[in-house]
Chains A and B, each alone.
Chain A
């Protein structure tokens, strides 16, 4: 197996006041022995010890690739492209988004631009949650056609950091957590106070490595009653069997063409044909990446596992249409 030498990138999202900057400062001042470049919106271009903090003004580019929801961050393509050329490469890059940012263009940047893809890998989208105010943000009613950014940021996350847990009691915290899981069952949840956290739980998450999917809380695979009328939910599919690659490609192609705008994130580990290796795929809206992964280990459970997070997902339909890609049960 070859190791992935691409520079890991952590995308840090969260509403204003959720504690992103506090976490960032904590990461930068902790002793971790890594050279970190931070791309954010407020500071000028200055070096802090071993870190380089770069200023970026969000520039959203629509791509002319026939994909209606494909937007990327033009400023990130430029800055990441420049960072990658340097001999003195960074060990890690953190991209902080503005409080109201839609995470999709950031994530899609890592799928669309060849240079970025070649040199960097999206390690995880980490979303900071203000325990005290998140429910209010999630419940905010938006005008027709306008997204609730808080819901999007939760839906896109690989890791949810519930911050300011000292400001809520145990019941409130449990309610917050349940609500977050209702939207995004794939992300793992960690708690923090004053932005202090075990750095390994937000850096080197390897969420886009997909192994994480196996560690996901299995409860989300079961249909749960909706506590709220959330339109954004997670659907997990777990089915044994062997996947026919042609059928899979046709299915995903159709699915993304018709539902891509509503599917925020998807991941899967599949047993394909009679390959000895796992087949992994992941996607953001209409963009997806599928490839053979490491070989199955002896005795490893070869059940196909897929997760979709999106708007108005039909669990039954997704499960049935995936089942039709299986060649034997």
Chain B
């Protein structure tokens, strides 16, 4: 059994401006993008720079590693998406028009979905475009792949569009909902799709039936939420701490969520470990908290990572290390004691 003090800061590195996005590969490469336009690839071991992708003037908005650590996508406010190989070698540089607000590799690593303005592009790992879907009615804010890779969802004002990457020409299924979607999460089980929304709510669809439910009353807009590896828990960050909804069995209806609150002020980032029952949360207080989930949630560690607000978190797969990015430009690795 570890104690709070066993959790430690492994390393810290400073970037030029607010770090907007973060992605950690299975091979221990940490990609981070800053609103200065700079992005870097750091070693999970000690934070040394492994590669420096090209600058995106006006800011980097999305970085994402493929699961096999063979491809890195970096996109920015300059309306470009660039693809690199695992060693940082440039593979493709594409103009997509509009801010590249989100990107995500398919679970089998062969396709990259990119949101640019009101459109979603599907790009092959050699950089060629497989599909460019027609413009949606408003700007796409978020993307999520179904775990089986058979669908990719795009969130915007008006709900979630659920694309079929294998048959891009066929009509897409929509989860219409009159509100502005800011973030998406899909349960690994394939049963649930959840959105965090501008109107201080979380909307949930049961994917098989299309049934919907809504959790309202959050103190602010919901921009961070995620399902754990077991698909049982949906964690939602807000100004009132983290609420964790229990999706076991028929789902959370009629159940009270657990509230995890050890941050001073708003919780601004969260990440579930990809395989283990661990949740990392980050706050406006500049702290990273690590929780283990079992029958109850237990605080395992609390570490400060700078003076800013934690903007993004990502676990290194197969390890006990979580990487945090902050509004003051800090990128830091926090290790949970084994």
A interface list, Cβ under 8 A from B = 45, 52, 59, 61-65, 74-75, 77-78, 82, 85-88, 113-115
Residues A113 and B18 in contact in the complex (CB < 8 Å), given A61-B198, A82-B77, A86-B35 = no
Residue B224 at the chain A interface, CB threshold 8 Å = no
Residue B330 at the chain A interface, CB threshold 8 Å = no
Instruction: Determine if B199 and A59 form an interchain contact, defined as CB atoms under 8 angstroms apart.
Output: no
CB-CB under 8 A from A82, the residues of chain B are 35, 59, 77
Which of B18, B199, B239, B311 lies at the interface centre, i.e. has the most chain A CB atoms within 10 A of its CB? B199
Of chain B, the residue at the smallest CB distance from A63 is B199
Interface size class of B (residues with CB under 8 A): 20 to 34
Instruction: Determine if B18 and A59 form an interchain contact, defined as CB atoms under 8 angstroms apart.
Output: no
Interface of B is mostly: loop
Instruction: Determine if B178 and A64 form an interchain contact, defined as CB atoms under 8 angstroms apart.
Output: yes
Residue B195 at the chain A interface, CB threshold 8 Å = no
Number of A-B contacts (CB under 8 A): 54
Q: How far is the CB of A302 from chain B (nearest CB, A)?
A: 35
Of chain B, the residue at the smallest CB distance from A62 is B178
Residue B58 at the chain A interface, CB threshold 8 Å = yes
Sample of 10 more A-B contacts, CB < 8 Å, known A82-B59, A113-B221: A45-B79, A63-B199, A74-B139, A74-B180, A78-B139, A86-B17, A86-B35, A86-B59, A87-B17, A88-B17
User: Considering the chains assembled together, what is the distance between the CA atoms of A31 and B310 in angstroms?
Assistant: 38
CB-CB under 8 A from B16, the residues of chain A are 87
CB-CB under 8 A from A52, the residues of chain B are 58
User: Considering the chains assembled together, what is the distance between the CA atoms of A61 and B159 in angstroms?
Assistant: 12
Q: How far is the CB of B297 from chain A (nearest CB, A)?
A: 26
CB-CB under 8 A from A114, the residues of chain B are 220-221, 239
Instruction: Determine if A63 and B58 form an interchain contact, defined as CB atoms under 8 angstroms apart.
Output: no
Residues A61 and B180 in contact in the complex (CB < 8 Å), given A86-B17, A86-B35 = yes
Instruction: Determine if A64 and B139 form an interchain contact, defined as CB atoms under 8 angstroms apart.
Output: no
Instruction: Determine if B157 and A74 form an interchain contact, defined as CB atoms under 8 angstroms apart.
Output: yes
User: Considering the chains assembled together, what is the distance between the CA atoms of A78 and B20 in angstroms?
Assistant: 13
CB-CB under 8 A from B79, the residues of chain A are 45
Residue B179 at the chain A interface, CB threshold 8 Å = yes
Residue B53 at the chain A interface, CB threshold 8 Å = no
Instruction: Determine if B201 and A59 form an interchain contact, defined as CB atoms under 8 angstroms apart.
Output: no
User: Considering the chains assembled together, what is the distance between the CA atoms of A86 and B17 in angstroms?
Assistant: 7
Residues A64 and B35 in contact in the complex (CB < 8 Å), given A45-B58, A82-B59, A85-B20 = no
Q: How far is the CB of A35 from chain B (nearest CB, A)?
A: 14
Instruction: Determine if B17 and A65 form an interchain contact, defined as CB atoms under 8 angstroms apart.
Output: no
Tell me which of A62, A75, A85 contacts B327 (CB under 8 A): A85
10 interchain residue pairs of minimum CB distance: A64-B199, A85-B18, A114-B220, A87-B17, A61-B180, A59-B138, A61-B157, A64-B179, A86-B35, A63-B199
CB-CB under 8 A from A74, the residues of chain B are 138-139, 157, 180, 198
User: Considering the chains assembled together, what is the distance between the CA atoms of A114 and B219 in angstroms?
Assistant: 9
Q: How far is the CB of A87 from chain B (nearest CB, A)?
A: 5
User: Considering the chains assembled together, what is the distance between the CA atoms of A64 and B35 in angstroms?
Assistant: 31
Residue B196 at the chain A interface, CB threshold 8 Å = no
